[in-house]
Amino acid sequence: MVSIFSQERLLFTPTPPKTDAIPVIYAFPNTYQIGITSLGYQVIWAMFAQREDVTVSRVFTDIQESLPRHPELFGFSISWELDYINLLNLLESFDIPFHSVDREDNHPLIFGGGPVLTANPEPFAAFFDLILLGDGEELLSNLIETAKQVRGCDRATKLKTFAQVPGIYVPSLYEVTYDSPEGVITDISPIYSEIPAQVQKQTYRGNTLSASTVVTENAAWENIYMVEVVRSCPEMCRFCLASYLTLPFRKAGLEGSLIPAIEQGLKVTNRIGLLGASVTQHPEFEDLLTHLSHPKYEDVRLSVSSVRTNTVTEKFAKLLAQRDARSLTIAVESGSDKLRKIINKKLDNEEIIQAGVNAQAGGLKGLKLYGMVGVPGEEEADIDATVNMMLQLKKAAPNLKLTLGCSTFVPKAHTPFQWFGVNKAGKKRLNYLQKKLRSRGIEFRPESYNWSVIQALISRGDRRLTPLLELTRHYGDSVGSYKRAFKELKGQLPPLEFYVHQNWDTTQVLPWSHLQGSLPQRALEKHLQDAMSYIN
């Protein structure tokens, strides 16, 4: 049988490790097909593999490389909240205690990174010795250099040393106090004076962004070579973690980074994916389009992640159609002007409809739109406004297959809407949209309201959720399982309502108050006040 790893086409040359290299296991807590499609995972693995002072082995839930007998570091890239179940399963399979405080000197240091942990690691804090907050480009070298520095030290000394490295958070060295087992947090403080009271997320500010380090037919996106065009988003929609958590907005240099990266990828595949929260807002995007319009690229299959609606030109749509793309995805959130002002979505319905007209004129077959219900300040009239906007779009571009994917608002840490709870009317409003749109020939794809409840629980959770997560691992990932676990743990943590649906006061200590994101709280409060000025 041919090994899945032997079918990989590498875009870098691994460096042979020295004899005293630090043995590292780097895991993605899901299948190989999903994990190897993660650009972040690919890039960090390649950074490890290009160091002579590290020997790195990869682990997925279904396959693994040859592993070191005594790993010193064991890392996880966490991209999806519910992957904590696989994280625990992997720790168990390696006979490693779940909780940092139960590990001994012979156990590897368990570290984690990725968007889930950078946003709010607290529900998972007990599982990790070290959590890397921010961009791997900034953090990885310090992680390895510190690991070399503390080799041979006892575990307590190692943790204390790592805790003083910018961007490395050691949860066990911070104490959280509550006004009661079911009450609010009153304080989060380091247990040693030399450890910083706040851990600052690290931000990479270069103009060479990420690109695939491996291409394989076994990825979820088969044979795709991914190029990060921009990082963060200048729009700053007030609910958006992808924008606020990754500020400031950065762009890859066209001649120095983007075009060379694309040329490199085309040596191994003809499928290119342009990634970013708002790809078309790269200031030289038109120049990139012109470059990709060259006849030498006519056999290239091009896909683009979500783009800003008012940048969808006929020229752009035509290029995508010529490069084997069938549809385009835009995030509109709502058809209501009022709601778009609340969330800071600088867009109007005319621009949305024009995007559809341009997509159709350029030869695309479909347009996918992202919407949201349950936004703070939303009323039933705002849902009708979305229906009307979709019907106007269908009338203006009758040959396009229209799809509206719709989620329920979920509060995210480090955004201005972190203080709002989930609107209980969300489920009813998703059903209403489905009834109104499907009958008019518009495909409606709602994201599960129950999944939004679980997502909100984890995104706003604190350390008291840890035993609950361990219980639900055995019960399954349904809302019923979480409610059952809350019932079992009654008196030991606040109710589900507190985490998911309750609006929080801006004066209360948040689970992540000791972790500094891209903007200070006073700036987030100002953005919140701006939003509230549009709510009746």
Task: Please list the residue range(s) of the chain that carry CATH number 3.80.30.20.
Answer: 223-460+504-532
C-alpha to C-alpha distance for 312 and 290, rounded to whole angstroms: 15
The arithmetic mean of pLDDT across residues 199-219, rounded, is 95
Task: Please list the residue range(s) of the chain that carry CATH number 3.40.50.280.
Answer: 5-200
Model confidence over 425-459: pLDDT tens digits? 999 999 999 999 999 999 999 999 999 999 999 99
The overall average pLDDT reported for the chain is 95
C-alpha to C-alpha distance for 135 and 220, rounded to whole angstroms: 24
**Res 305: pLDDT:** 86
**In contact, 82 and 477? CB cutoff 8 Å:** yes
pLDDT of 328 > 70? The answer is yes
pLDDT bucket at 508, cuts 50 / 70 / 90: very high
Model confidence over 331-347: pLDDT tens digits? 999 999 999 999 999 99
Model confidence over 89-144: pLDDT tens digits? 999 999 999 999 999 999 999 999 999 999 999 999 999 999 999 999 999 999 99
C-alpha to C-alpha distance for 274 and 319, rounded to whole angstroms: 13
**In contact, 411 and 459? CB cutoff 8 Å:** yes
The arithmetic mean of pLDDT across residues 33-61, rounded, is 98
Q: Omega before 467 cis (within 30°)?
A: no
**In contact, 25 and 71? CB cutoff 8 Å:** yes
Count CB atoms within 10 A of the CB of residue 443.
13
C-alpha to C-alpha distance for 319 and 323, rounded to whole angstroms: 6
Q: Token pair of 6, please?
A: 């032997």
**In contact, 138 and 204? CB cutoff 8 Å:** yes
**Which residue shows structure tokens 């480009």?**
137
C-alpha to C-alpha distance for 244 and 237, rounded to whole angstroms: 8
pTM (two decimals): 0.95
pLDDT of 536 > 80? The answer is no
Beta-carbon contacts of 448 under 8 Å, excluding residues fewer than 6 positions away, are: none
Beta bridge pairs of residue 230: 251
C-alpha to C-alpha distance for 234 and 344, rounded to whole angstroms: 11
HEC sequence for 205-274: CCCCCCECCEECCCCCCCCEEEEECEECCCCCCCCCHHHHCCCCCEECCHHHHHHHHHHHHCCCCCEEEE
**In contact, 84 and 112? CB cutoff 8 Å:** no
pLDDT bucket at 2, cuts 50 / 70 / 90: low
Beta-carbon contacts of 150 under 8 Å, excluding residues fewer than 6 positions away, are: 157, 158, 161, 162
Q: What is the DSSP letter of 114?
A: S
DSSP string, 15-37: PPPPTTPEEEEEE-SS-HHHHTT
Model confidence over 298-309: pLDDT tens digits? 999 999 987 899
The arithmetic mean of pLDDT across residues 210-234, rounded, is 96
Q: Token pair of 517, please?
A: 């994101």
**Which residue shows structure tokens 């070191």?**
68
The angle, 0 to 180 degrees and rounded to 10, between the axes of the packed helices 449-459 and 426-438 is: 140
* Class (C level, CATH) for 223-460+504-532: alpha beta
Beta-carbon contacts of 6 under 8 Å, excluding residues fewer than 6 positions away, are: none
**Local structure of 385: helix, strand or coil:** helix
pLDDT of 1 > 80? The answer is no
Is the model more confident about 54 or about 278? 54
**Res 76: pLDDT:** 98
- Work out the angle at residue 87's Cα, subtended by the Cα atoms of residues 82 and 92, and round it to the nearest 5 degrees: 135
Task: Detail the DSSP E strand segments found in 383-533.
Answer: 401-408, 443-446, 515-516
Model confidence over 337-378: pLDDT tens digits? 999 999 999 999 999 999 999 999 999 999 999 999 999 999
C-alpha to C-alpha distance for 346 and 310, rounded to whole angstroms: 10
C-alpha to C-alpha distance for 507 and 116, rounded to whole angstroms: 24
**Nearest Cα to 48, choosing from 58, 39, 35, 38?**
58
The arithmetic mean of pLDDT across residues 278-289, rounded, is 91
**Res 207: pLDDT:** 84
Is beta strand 22-27 parallel, antiparallel or unpaired with respect to 9-10? unpaired
Beta-carbon contacts of 516 under 8 Å, excluding residues fewer than 6 positions away, are: 198, 199, 200, 201
C-alpha to C-alpha distance for 351 and 430, rounded to whole angstroms: 24
**In contact, 30 and 59? CB cutoff 8 Å:** no
Beta-carbon contacts of 299 under 8 Å, excluding residues fewer than 6 positions away, are: 270
Task: Tell how many helices (H) and how many strands (E) occur in the chain.
Answer: 19, 21
**Which residue shows structure tokens 């009307």?**
388
**Res 478: pLDDT:** 84
CATH topology of domain 5-200: Rossmann fold (3.40.50)
Model confidence over 136-189: pLDDT tens digits? 999 999 999 999 999 999 999 999 999 999 999 999 999 999 999 999 999 999
C-alpha to C-alpha distance for 21 and 374, rounded to whole angstroms: 51
The conformational region for residue 422 under phi > 0 = left, psi -120 to 50 = alpha, else beta, is beta
